[in-house]
Amino acid sequence: MNADKRAAIYARLAQAIPAPTTELEYQSPFELLTAVLLSAQATDVGVNKATRKLFPVANTPAAMLALGIEGLEPYIKTIGLYRSKARHLIETCRLLLERHGGEVPAERAALEALPGVGRKTANVILNTAFGHPTIAVDTHIFRVANRTRLAPGETVREVEDRLVKWTPKAYRMDAHHLLILHGRYVCKARKPLCEACVIADLCEYPARTNQMPAPLPDAAD
């Protein structure tokens, strides 16, 4: 895939999704970090249901640490792996208070030193909370990048590095959310909705069921 086609793909996705952002509900970097940590092997809908009850009670590291593991677990027990997530969250709160004055750090190394925070989570926080042009690669983005041939790779890191290298600068800030939303709602895993795809004619997926792009919304709307 050449650079012109990649730019055209991003341009169309940006028109189809004019305000791309996370579907996790949050009001601060700490709330976002909490939601992202809870979202592993869980849906955003499920996480939001839990945090709508949790955040009014504890939405700072100090307040959550005061809850403790036993106090936190009832709020997140509907989420998969909630016991290990509770341990990670409480330890994260302790470290945020001890090392960062209760603030979420805006540096990759400091983020990745927190329990349960790997490269993908750090990329999400850096991009969504702090405006860094990072591109976190989850299962949706890995699938879209490989299926369309936008940035094919055998590993998550390979896909990430190619997306960072090949994504036009104008779209780098929003690339993560553009691709994740396209993968979540259109380029689905089992049955991609090619008839609803605005980049069907640009996609290089051999098994696509449609080669005509879906209409784009009017830019004036």
Confidence of residue 219 (pLDDT cuts 50, 70, 90): low
Q: What is the pLDDT of residue 212?
A: 79
CATH 3.10.20.600 for domain 3-20+135-196, yes or no, is no
CB 205 within 8 A of CB 15: no
- Please determine, for residue 220, whether its predicted confidence score (pLDDT) is greater than 70: no
CA pair distance 182, 176, nearest whole angstrom = 10
Q: Name the CATH architecture for the domain at 29-128.
A: Orthogonal Bundle (1.10)
Locate the domains of the chain by residue range.
Answer: 3-20+135-196, 29-128
Residues 167-217 pLDDT 10s:
999 999 999 999 999 999 999 999 999 999 999 999 999 888 878 788 888
Contacts by residues 102-110 (CB-CB < 8 Å, ≥ 24 positions apart): 102/60, 102/61, 102/62, 103/29, 103/30, 104/29, 104/30, 104/32, 104/33, 104/129, 106/130, 106/132
CA pair distance 158, 81, nearest whole angstrom = 28
Indicate which residues carry an active-site annotation: 120, 138
Residues 16-72 pLDDT 10s:
999 999 999 999 999 999 999 999 888 999 999 999 999 999 999 999 999 999 999
- The Cβ of residue 102 has, within 10 Å, a number of other Cβ atoms equal to 14
CB 22 within 8 A of CB 48: no
Reported pTM: 0.86
CA pair distance 213, 194, nearest whole angstrom = 8
CA pair distance 202, 210, nearest whole angstrom = 11
CA pair distance 201, 197, nearest whole angstrom = 9
Mean pLDDT of 153-168: 96
Residues 97-109 pLDDT 10s:
999 999 999 999 9
**Side chain identity, residue 141:** I
Element spanning 65, H or E: helix 61-76
